[in-house]
């Protein structure tokens, strides 16, 4: 679809982080180029891809995504790159869509407020394997499925895995369950990223964040994790079934 035959949601800025993943970036940008309602801008923060590849990608989408800018510069990691992208945004809302993730439907149609987008999971082979839900006592959801206000606080670089979780705690003090869920489209998220590879360390950081931002909830969360990791699954199910009855 040509850019000039599509509509623009001027409220939405997309920030995409990438590092040596031209294939994944092409997938993401191609999905954005097919939308009838496109974001105001697409800001790619690239941590070090070869220059000729960046120029090639920019040229491919020169007609279908003229609002695309690719910024190649060194950074201190994914959250530093996300902060850099956030500072460049002109829209009032920001959608962090990482390299390799794709949008489906029309996620930006009639989108004017903070909200959740449906998230479908695919494995490394491209097989669909479920969808996300609000979890961890209403404080966690796939980051690519959240539309934030642009003026949310910067990502805390002291967290290596869970800075995105901290941003949820800070941005949505009432939790995520009260946010409207888009019915127009969503995001397909590919497993294999930083947080999925280091889930244990990420959980520790999440507990740390809860202790700081939700101290009472952190007690419940620690007990739940203890229950889940130390008690065999069949016993957990029996106990939960007994409690419900």
pLDDT, one tens digit per residue, over 91-106 is: 999 999 989 999 999 9
Burial pattern 132-142, b for ≥16 Cβ within 10 A else e, equals bebebeebbbb
CA-CA distance, 68 to 38, in Å (whole number)? Answer: 11
pLDDT, one tens digit per residue, over 59-84 is: 999 999 999 999 988 888 899 999 99
60 neighbors 129 (Cβ within 8 angstroms): no
pLDDT of residue 196: 47
pLDDT of residue 201: 78
- How is residue 161 annotated by DSSP? S
Could you give all domains of the chain from N- to C-terminal order, each with its CATH number?
3-194 (3.90.550.10)
pLDDT, one tens digit per residue, over 3-37 is: 455 799 999 999 999 988 889 999 999 999 999 99
129 neighbors 122 (Cβ within 8 angstroms): yes
CA-CA distance, 49 to 213, in Å (whole number)? Answer: 37
61 neighbors 48 (Cβ within 8 angstroms): no
For 46, phi then psi, to 5°, come to -105, 130
DSSP β-bridge partners for residue 44: 16, 70
- pTM for the structure as a whole: 0.86
141 neighbors 195 (Cβ within 8 angstroms): no
């Amino acid at each position: 679809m040509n850019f000039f035959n599509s509509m623009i949601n001027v409220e939405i800025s997309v920030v995409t982080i990438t590092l040596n993943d031209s294939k994944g970036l092409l997938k993401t940008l191609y999905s954005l180029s097919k939308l009838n309602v496109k974001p105001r801008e697409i800001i790619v923060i690239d941590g070090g891809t070869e220059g000729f590849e960046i120029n090639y990608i920019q040229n491919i989408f020169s007609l279908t995504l003229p609002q695309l800018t690719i910024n190649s510069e060194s950074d201190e990691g994914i959250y530093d790159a996300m902060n850099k992208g956030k500072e460049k945004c002109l829209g009032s809302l920001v959608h962090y869509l990482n390299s390799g993730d794709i949008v489906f439907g029309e996620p930006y149609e009639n989108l004017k407020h903070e909200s959740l987008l449906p998230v479908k999971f695919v494995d490394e082979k491209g097989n669909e394997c479920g969808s996300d839900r609000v979890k961890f006592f209403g404080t966690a959801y796939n980051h690519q499925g959240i539309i934030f206000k642009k003026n949310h606080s910067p990502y805390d670089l002291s967290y290596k895995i869970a800075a995105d979780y901290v941003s949820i705690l800070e941005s949505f003090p009432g939790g995520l369950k009260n946010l409207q869920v888009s019915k127009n489209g969503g995001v397909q998220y590919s497993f294999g990223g930083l947080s999925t590879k280091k889930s244990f360390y990420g959980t520790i950081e999440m507990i740390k964040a809860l202790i700081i931002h939700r101290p009472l909830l952190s007690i419940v969360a620690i007990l739940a994790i203890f229950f889940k990791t130390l008690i065999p699954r069949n016993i957990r199910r029996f106990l939960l079934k007994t409690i419900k009855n």
